[in-house]
Structure 1
Amino acid sequence: MSPYVEELQQTLQEYANASIAQQQKAYLKDLFEHYGIKAPVRRSITKYLLTKEARPFKEELDTIVKELWTLDQREFQHFGLDLCDKYKRQWVKSDLSLFEHMVVHKSWWDTVDFIAVNLMGPYFKQFPELIETKMEEWIQSQNLWLQRCTLIFQLKYKKDTNTALLSRCILQLNHTKEFFLNKAIGWALREYSKTNPKWVMEFTDQQQLHPLSKREALRLM
């Protein structure tokens, strides 16, 4: 274990709460172990490790985050999300492979949604030339979490949303029975309805969406 991750582990262990851990484990369908540290507390006790003085060099990020993804307690992965977020100004094209690794390993909505919206979203603002190729690759991947990313990475784009791309991704995934994809379709449309309700209304009228997707899309209308 790297010294940085070891220090993180020691910090988390000091604040472990078995009762809360059981609740958190149940909330995530018993998929992951937990220390039982709620997010505000975790962010407070690990704040120093995210400072410029304490965090690893950018060149170490890939190795550190992948190490965090091998550990059992979910707090390690949640910390890894916050750590990646600190390097936005230093991202390079190859960092996308790390984000993909994070999506397809220990996959669940609690990490995937953050990665898609808060990491991939800003990343593709910096490297828009990669969007078309990656969206098609992920849609064809048969990995539902990568597919979910194609639907929600633009969630914070507002007026900069590429509606042609959003429409294409939705229509390519529209006939699925997968809850997490149908929910994401509705979420993406609902979020964009805050910016362009007319477009969303017309889209939902013209397309045969899953009832869950349509209900979620029109919730704010």
Structure 2
Amino acid sequence: MTPKQFVHAVEHALIPLADEAKAQGMKAYLLNQFEFLGLAAPVRRAAVKAIGKVKWQSSADLLAAAELLWQKPEREYRYTAVDLLRQQSAQLNVKDLPALQALLLRDAWWETVDGLSAVIAEVMHAAVQQKPNAAVTMDVWLKHPSHWVRRSAMLHQLGWRLDTDTTRLFGYATQLADEKEFFIRKAIGWALRDYARWNSQTVTEFLVQHRARLSGLTVREAAKHLTLP
């Protein structure tokens, strides 16, 4: 199956299920910025489950399919692309990060950014296991003009558990601490909270030490399951 055939199959599966009333609600939830078919995630995923099992011969084909889905106006196609990339993230490597960043930046909002950030986290985790200095790519992303790319860099270790590079985690949090952007402040707290599940003491110590500099939102997010002195 070619990328174009794959996208046609996805359209054939999703369009008959479109629900205009639900689409309007979903559109309103994202501040009327984007179009929707009106499909809840379980419905959408069930509809394309069989199609999504296709195995791509190369990362280029996989990314081409994602790119074609991204060109569709309705957000459900992008969510399908994110699911596809996550399911087959083992085919991707650091050389594919520019393509993922390009998708991330197009009509960016938190839901597609966070979906792609989960893909990027898996790609980066595999990469640093083989070549630790692969993480310097995220150092570059942290200085990107777009706060969405910076958010993705802050979130790139989500789910790494005890493999987390704490120097980068706390270093990134410190570098971004003065930002006023809501989605950056939220991301710092999310990243810290995720790591706190595995090392609560270290995160607590960081929050206490830097509480005066971190935003209230960041501290609240990070400390949801902690008791700060």
Instruction: Indicate the SS of the match to 1:30.
Output: coil
The alignment of Structure 1 onto Structure 2 pairs a total of residues equal to 218
Q: Between the two proteins, what is the percent identity of the paired residues? A: 31
Query: Out of 192, 206, 216, which is 2:221 matched to?
Result: 216
Q: Tell me how far apart the structure 2 counterparts of residues 47 and 115 of structure 1 sit (CA, whole Å).
A: 19
* Structure-2-length-normalised TM-score: 0.89
Letter in 2 for 1:40: P
Does 2:147 match 1:163? no
Quote the residue 1:40 is aligned against: 42
Quote the residue 2:120 is aligned against: 120
Pairwise CA distance, 1:93: 3.3
Q: Tell me how far apart the structure 2 counterparts of residues 158 and 111 of structure 1 sit (CA, whole Å).
A: 23
Over aligned residues, Cα RMSD in angstroms?
Answer: 1.6
Quote the residue 2:8 is aligned against: 6
Q: Tell me how far apart the structure 1 counterparts of residues 151 and 134 of structure 2 sit (CA, whole Å).
A: 14
Contact 2:19 2:38 in 1 (8 A): yes
* Structure-1-length-normalised TM-score: 0.93
Instruction: Indicate the SS of the match to 1:72.
Output: coil
39-48 vs 107-116, greater mean Cα deviation: 107-116
Pairwise CA distance, 1:169: 0.8
Letter in 1 for 2:98: S
Pairwise CA distance, 1:56: 4.6
Does 2:52 match 1:50? yes
Q: Tell me how far apart the structure 2 counterparts of residues 39 and 94 of structure 1 sit (CA, whole Å).
A: 30
Unaligned regions of 5+ residues in structure 1, if any? none
Quote the residue 2:90 is aligned against: 89
Letter in 2 for 1:175: D
Unaligned regions of 5+ residues in structure 2, if any? none
Once the two structures are superposed, the pairs formed by residues 1-221 of structure 1 within 5 Å of their partners are: 2-52=4-54, 56-58=56-58, 59-117=60-118, 119-128=119-128, 129=131, 131-207=134-210, 208-221=213-226
Structure 1 pair 57–14 and aligned structure 2 pair: CA distance change class (3 A): farther
Instruction: Indicate the SS of the match to 1:11.
Output: helix
Contact 1:69 1:106 in 2 (8 A): no
Instruction: Indicate the SS of the match to 2:138.
Output: helix
Letter in 1 for 2:32: D
Letter in 1 for 2:16: E
Instruction: Indicate the SS of the match to 1:2.
Output: helix
